[in-house]
Amino acid sequence: MKYRLLIAYRGGGYAGWQRQSNAVAVQQKVEEALAQVLSRKVVIHGSGRTDTGVHAAAQVAHLEQPEPVVLDSLVHGANHFLPEDIRVLRADPIGDDFHARKSAVAKEYRYRMSRCRVLSPLAAPFSIRIDPAVDLDSMRAAAQLLLGRHDFTAFAASGGAHRDPRRRILEAEWLERDEALVFRVLGEGFLRGMVRALAGTLLEVGQGRRTVEQFGELLVGAPRSAAGPNAPPHGLVLWQVFYPPELTVPGEATLPSGQPGSR
Amino acid sequence: MKYRLLIAYRGGGYAGWQRQSNAVAVQQKVEEALAQVLSRKVVIHGSGRTDTGVHAAAQVAHLEQPEPVVLDSLVHGANHFLPEDIRVLRADPIGDDFHARKSAVAKEYRYRMSRCRVLSPLAAPFSIRIDPAVDLDSMRAAAQLLLGRHDFTAFAASGGAHRDPRRRILEAEWLERDEALVFRVLGEGFLRGMVRALAGTLLEVGQGRRTVEQFGELLVGAPRSAAGPNAPPHGLVLWQVFYPPELTVPGEATLPSGQPGSR
């Protein structure tokens, strides 16, 4: 039996999603909780890593399990043993050919920036503060340039060995949410550190520190040093992971038809 | 000189707004921070208390100060000494006849309830979980009954000595925000514990545990025991405090004209 887990977490207390030898990661906490529930050693496979401090509204992982389990027991049992900043939102049986990372066709991230003089403690856990005077039109024009397939070397964390630095972006926009601007980006895949580097560099466009044209020139394989800094991790949320329709569980969104990843 | 302070806080770590002898309150933390900035003992006056664990997006307080101060220094100096879950958002000079509590003409509160099986850690600090199957139409019909002037004894915390238990509600509605329902209520004033008791009792209407008519019968001075339980504090936010136009600072909202409190 294979099960698909939907997992949410606040990233502040963890060294990212992926299990590490020298720091506590979210994957480790989930595996330890499931081990308590299932009374055996458990290994889960996530859709991909998230960096230290980055949040997830809906990370996806899968679990191989010799015997069928009661879904509610799995969810509530895991949550009983998990710290309050990690929750298994749901568990679903899924076909044997499902793999949380390999089957994923797209991911959506959101990065939140609050336009204010002082950041409210109600927003602070999930947002950074930016100058209210940023030029949203420029930031929107630059985001539009992301659509399609580009060489994102300029936005890849050094140290990440990317065989192919090209990725296809399906949607990219700035949403206005109360006083906040939210950078929403949907892509077939992302290089390590890419969304935070995009957010930090788009912000420089909004601040007038680089033009929309200069931003566009980064998308042809410019070196990392040519782009702006990574925006801080706590503004970023892994929002959703998309799978092909035949591997999507009831109530979960699929990609809009016509998108390359939608089959 | 008199100054008006706009203050936001996450209430989880505090015994409410009002200074207490036996517990740490938000007022005390702000007074201590201002004392460091101004090098003197400081007393501030808030618009009213918030209960233990209740949040504020925009609490208002005033401060009497013998000498003029640089506003940015006051704000950033106070925030330097405040814990990260309390922030002074802005400070403005205000007329001598301003009093944060006595001048207030209305307050707005919001109570958030997430419709889900498991509450996401991203929502959990500011929301409670409720059954997705609640009857929103009934909850909306019951909220409509709140409009106007009623005897809210059924929703007043016992122990609060209210000389007059009548209060006028100006607006009451349920907003839909993603998966959450948000009870938004604007009134000329509220009894102690009233918004949480209203939220808890309106939820019982949505759960089919009492009818809209039975809810209405509580608004004529029924005893506290006739209404439902207080909803937990962490779902509640003091959203805004309204003042008459002549005592409103630039960029802050006034009541829509035509409202009783708008003069």
Tens-digit pLDDT profile for residues A179-197: 999 999 999 999 999 999 9
Q: Confidence class of residue A252 from pLDDT cuts 50, 70 and 90? A: confident
Instruction: State chain B's mean pLDDT as an integer.
Output: 95
Inter-chain touch B75–A117, beta carbons under 8 Å: yes
Average pLDDT over every residue of B147-155? 97
Residues 8-67, chain A, touching B (beta carbon < 8 A):
8-10, 55, 57
Among the listed ranges A34-38, A198-202, B137-141, B248-252, which one has the minimum average pLDDT value?
A: B248-252
A259 contact partners, CB below 8 Å, separation of at least 6: A106, A170
The band of A260, judged by pLDDT with boundaries at 50, 70 and 90, is low
Q: For tokens 């389990």, what's the residue?
A: A69
State residue B253's pLDDT score: 84
A235 close to A10: Cβ distance less than 8 angstroms: no
The average confidence (pLDDT) of chain A is 95
* Structural contact between residues B189 and B224, judged by C-beta atoms closer than 8 angstroms: no
Q: pLDDT band at B252, cuts 50/70/90? A: confident
Please report the beta strands in chain A, taking only residues with DSSP state E, as ranges in sequence order: 2-9, 44-46, 55-64, 86-94, 106-115, 128-130, 148-151, 166-177, 180-187, 236-242
Q: Do A10 and B55 touch (CB under 8 A)?
A: no
A85-128 pLDDT tens trace:
999 999 999 999 999 999 999 999 999 999 999 999 999 999 99
Look at residue B82 and tell me whether its pLDDT is greater than 80: yes
- Smallest Cβ–Cβ distance between A124 and the set B84, B121, B237 belongs to B84
Strands B86-94 vs B55-64: parallel, antiparallel or unpaired: unpaired
One of B51, B72, B137, B178 is an active-site residue; which one? B51
Q: Give yes or no for A161 touching B (CB within 8 A).
A: no
The answer to whether the CB atoms of A121 and B10 lie below 8 A apart is yes
Identity of the residue in B10, B87, B118 whose CB atom sits nearest the CB atom of A75: B118
pLDDT at B254: 85
On chain A, the residues whose CB falls within 8 A of the CB of B57 are 120, 122
Which residue of B88, B116, B121 is in closest CB contact with A118? B88
Cross-chain Cβ contact A75/B117 below 8 Å: yes
**Could you tell me if B84 lies within 8 Å of chain A, comparing CB atoms?**
yes
The answer, yes or no, to whether residue A165 has pLDDT greater than 70, is: yes
Q: Are A219 and A154 in contact (CB under 8 A)?
A: yes
- Which pLDDT score is estimated for B263? 45
Those of residues 107-136 in B touching chain A at CB distance below 8 A are 116-122, 124-126
| Band of pLDDT at residue A263, cut at 50, 70 and 90 | very low
Which pLDDT belongs to residue A178? 87
Looking at the complex, report in whole angstroms how far the Cα of residue B194 sits from the nearest Cα belonging to chain A: 22
Instruction: Name the percent of chain B lying above pLDDT 70.
Output: 96
pLDDT at A27 over 80: yes
Contact at 8 Å (CB) between B230 and B197?
yes
pLDDT > 70: what percent of chain A? Answer: 96
Give percent above pLDDT 90 in chain A: 91
Span B172-228, pLDDT tens digits? 999 999 899 999 999 999 999 999 999 999 999 999 999 999 999 999 999 999 999
Average pLDDT of B97-114?
Answer: 98
Residue that wins the pLDDT comparison between B141 and A260: B141
pLDDT for B258 beyond 70: no
Task: Name the residue in chain B with its Cα closest to that of A54.
Answer: B122
Tokens, residue A191: 């290089």
Assess whether pLDDT exceeds 80 at residue B122. Answer: yes
What digits encode the pLDDT tens for the residues A136-160? 999 999 999 999 999 999 999 876 5
Mean pLDDT of B99-116: 98
Predicted confidence at residue A189, as pLDDT, reads: 94
**Cross-chain Cβ contact B122/A10 below 8 Å:** yes
For residue B79, list chain A residues with Cβ-Cβ distance below 8 A.
Answer: 118
Q: What is the mean pLDDT of residues B6-29?
A: 97
What residue has token string 């906490």? A29
Q: What is the mean pLDDT of residues B78-88?
A: 98
CB distance from A179 to chain B under 8 Å?
A: no
A113 three-class SS: strand
Across the range A235-243, mean pLDDT stands at 98
Q: Which of A17, A122, A237 to mutate to test the interface with B (most CBs of B within 10 A)?
A: A122
Contact B90 A118 (CB under 8 A): yes
pLDDT of residue B123: 97
Q: What is the ipTM of this complex?
A: 0.93
Is A96 a catalytic site residue? no
Tell me the nearest-neighbour CA distance from A115 into chain B, angstroms. 12
Round to whole Å and give the CA distance between B12 and B234: 7
Contacts of B65 (CB under 8 A, 6+ apart): B1, B2, B3, B38
